[in-house]
Amino acid sequence: TLADNPADSSFDVVIKTESVDTNNKKRDGHLKSPDFFNAREFPTISFKSTKVEKGEKDTLKVTGDLTCHGVTKSITIDVVQTGAASGPQGESKGIEAIFTIKRSEFGMEYGLEALGDDVRVIVALEGGKRG
């Protein structure tokens, strides 16, 4: 929920780990395996905000709980409003967040030396008003 007052905003995002699609079936299967996401045991990755504050310009500072691979960590990310529009479907707003997590902090340690620990996450969403 993106409110005019940032403190009244909230974010609740759930991603199904089975939805991994890199356009390479073999790689997708490996990413869903216990080496990485372990999609059978951990079917979702989720982020639920606990605090939203106004940042600089069109940025919100969003703190929340990121749960991945059975581990929950509190993180703070910058969320930028990328646009707003009105059309036949009503009003909509776009937002984007780009941040980095460490795989090892979420128990995903397969191939750390070869693949690295840092994962850049890009989230781009568009939503409209309810009601």
Kindly report the CATH number assigned to the domain that includes residue 119: 2.40.128.110
Is there a domain that residue 1 lies in?
A: no
* Beta pairing partners, 35: none
Specify the pTM: 0.88
User: Per residue in 15-49, pLDDT tens?
Assistant: 999 999 999 999 999 999 999 999 999 999 999 99
Sign of CA dihedral 95, 99, 17, 27: positive
Q: What would the mean pLDDT of 82-94 be, rounded to a whole number?
A: 85
For residues 44 and 52, what is the distance between their CA atoms, to the nearest angstrom?
A: 23
Distances (CA, A) of 126 to 2, 6, 67, 93, 94: 11, 17, 22, 6, 4
Phi, psi of 46 (to 5 degrees): -135, 155
For residues 131 and 129, what is the distance between their CA atoms, to the nearest angstrom?
A: 7
Q: Output the pLDDT for position 64.
A: 98
Mean pLDDT value across the chain? 93
Is there a domain that residue 13 lies in?
A: yes
Structural domains of the chain, count:
1
State the pLDDT confidence band at 2, using cuts at 50, 70 and 90: confident
Residue 54 is part of which domain span? 6-128
